[in-house]
Structure 1
Amino acid sequence: MKKISKLQRPRFKSIQVQRYLRAMWSAALILGATANAAIAAEAATREKIEQAVGKIANELKQVCPLSDPASQGAFDLCRQAMFDDSLIKQMMLPVVLWGRQRDPNMTLKETPLTQFAPEILAGLYMPLFMFDGKYKVTYNEREKLYLATLGVVFRNRLQPGQFPYPFWHDAAKWNTYENANTMLLWIDPNTSKLRFAQFSIFGEVVPGYPAAKATVPAFDGKWLWTDEHGKTQPAVTLFDGLYRENNPYKQKLDQSYREFAITLRESQCLSCHVPNNPDKMKKLVLLQSPAHASMEIHRVLKSVREKKMPLDEQGIEKTLDPQLEQVLLDKGGAFEKLVDAAREWERTQAPRNQ
Structure 2
Amino acid sequence: MKLSKLLQASTLAWCATVMAPAWSTTPAAPGDDAARLRVEKVAAALAADMAQLCPAADPGDQAAFDACRKGLFMDSQLKRSLLDFVLWGRQKDPKLTLKESKLTQFGPDVLAGMYVPLFMFNGKYSVVHVEREGLYQIRLQTAFRNRLSPGQFPYPFWHEAEKWSMYEKANEIILWWDTKADKVKVAQFTVWGTTPPVQVNTHVEQAAFDGKWMWTDATGKSQPAVTVFDGLLRADNPYIGKLDTAYKNLALRLRDGQCFQCHVPNNPDGMKKLVLLQTPMHAAAEIKRVMKAVRNDTMPRDEFGIEQPLDNKTKTALLNEGAAFERLLDLAKQWDASAPSTARNDATGLTTATAAK
The bucket for the TM-score relative to the shorter chain is 0.7 to 0.9
Note the C-alpha offset of 1:211.
2.7
Counterpart for residue 82 of structure 1: 72
Which whole-Å CA distance do the structure 2 matches of 1:167 and 1:94 have between them?
Answer: 25
Rg bigger for which structure? 1
* 1:346 partnered with 2:343: no
Query: Measured at CA, do residues 39 and 109 of structure 1 come closer, stay the same or move farther in structure 2, by a change above 3 Å?
Result: closer
Counterpart for residue 287 of structure 2: 297
Q: Which of 116, 137, 143 in structure 1 is aligned with 2:133? A: 143
Note the C-alpha offset of 1:324.
1.0
Alignment of 1:200-349 (within 5 A): 200-206=190-196, 209-349=199-339
1:194 aligned counterpart, secondary structure: strand
Note the C-alpha offset of 1:347.
3.4
Query: Measured at CA, do residues 267 and 42 of structure 1 come closer, stay the same or move farther in structure 2, by a change above 3 Å?
Result: same
Note the C-alpha offset of 1:132.
1.2
Counterpart for residue 46 of structure 1: 36
Contact 2:141 2:197 in 1 (8 A): no
> Which consecutive unaligned segments of at least 5 residues does structure 1 have?
1-37
Note the C-alpha offset of 1:228.
1.9
Counterpart for residue 3 of structure 2: none
- Provide, for residues 185-232 of structure 1, a one-character-per-residue CA deviation record: whole Å limited to 9, x for no partner: 001011210000000000134367433211211100000111122221
Instruction: With the length of structure 2 as denominator, give the TM-score of the two structures.
Output: 0.85
Which whole-Å CA distance do the structure 2 matches of 1:243 and 1:270 have between them?
Answer: 26
Contact 1:151 1:204 in 2 (8 A): no
1:240 aligned counterpart, secondary structure: helix
User: What amino acid maps onto 1:223 in structure 2?
Assistant: W
Note the C-alpha offset of 1:309.
0.8
Moved more, 312-321 or 344-353: 344-353
Contact 1:179 1:210 in 2 (8 A): no
Contact 2:298 2:309 in 1 (8 A): no
Contact 1:310 1:320 in 2 (8 A): yes
Alignment of 1:1-80 (within 5 A): 42-80=32-70
Counterpart for residue 94 of structure 1: 84
Which whole-Å CA distance do the structure 2 matches of 1:103 and 1:86 have between them?
Answer: 30
User: What amino acid maps onto 1:60 in structure 2?
Assistant: M
Which whole-Å CA distance do the structure 2 matches of 1:219 and 1:332 have between them?
Answer: 29
Which whole-Å CA distance do the structure 1 matches of 2:29 and 2:307 have between them?
Answer: 47
Which whole-Å CA distance do the structure 1 matches of 2:197 and 2:115 have between them?
Answer: 23
Note the C-alpha offset of 1:247.
2.1
Q: Which of 180, 192, 204 in structure 1 is aligned with 2:182? A: 192
Instruction: Using the aligned pairs only, state the percent identity.
Output: 52
Contact 2:46 2:77 in 1 (8 A): yes
Contact 1:80 1:241 in 2 (8 A): no
Higher relative contact order (CA 8 A, sep 6+): 2
Note the C-alpha offset of 1:311.
1.3
User: What amino acid maps onto 1:46 in structure 2?
Assistant: R
Contact 1:97 1:114 in 2 (8 A): yes
Which whole-Å CA distance do the structure 1 matches of 2:94 and 2:204 have between them?
Answer: 26
Contact 1:149 1:183 in 2 (8 A): yes
Which whole-Å CA distance do the structure 1 matches of 2:29 and 2:232 have between them?
Answer: 43
Contact 2:122 2:198 in 1 (8 A): no
Query: Measured at CA, do residues 55 and 272 of structure 1 come closer, stay the same or move farther in structure 2, by a change above 3 Å?
Result: same
Which whole-Å CA distance do the structure 2 matches of 1:199 and 1:74 have between them?
Answer: 20
Which whole-Å CA distance do the structure 1 matches of 2:180 and 2:147 have between them?
Answer: 39
2:196 aligned counterpart, secondary structure: coil
Query: Measured at CA, do residues 39 and 326 of structure 1 come closer, stay the same or move farther in structure 2, by a change above 3 Å?
Result: closer
Contact 1:178 1:210 in 2 (8 A): no
Note the C-alpha offset of 1:345.
2.9
Contact 2:153 2:226 in 1 (8 A): yes
Note the C-alpha offset of 1:48.
1.5
Which whole-Å CA distance do the structure 2 matches of 1:298 and 1:40 have between them?
Answer: 37
> Which consecutive unaligned segments of at least 5 residues does structure 2 have?
1-27, 351-357
Note the C-alpha offset of 1:314.
2.0
Which whole-Å CA distance do the structure 1 matches of 2:96 and 2:338 have between them?
Answer: 43
Figure out how many residues of one structure are paired with residues of the other and give that number: 317
Q: Which of 128, 131, 153 in structure 2 is aligned with 1:163? A: 153
- Provide, for residues 222-246 of structure 1, a one-character-per-residue CA deviation record: whole Å limited to 9, x for no partner: 0011112222110110123222212
Query: Measured at CA, do residues 196 and 159 of structure 1 come closer, stay the same or move farther in structure 2, by a change above 3 Å?
Result: same
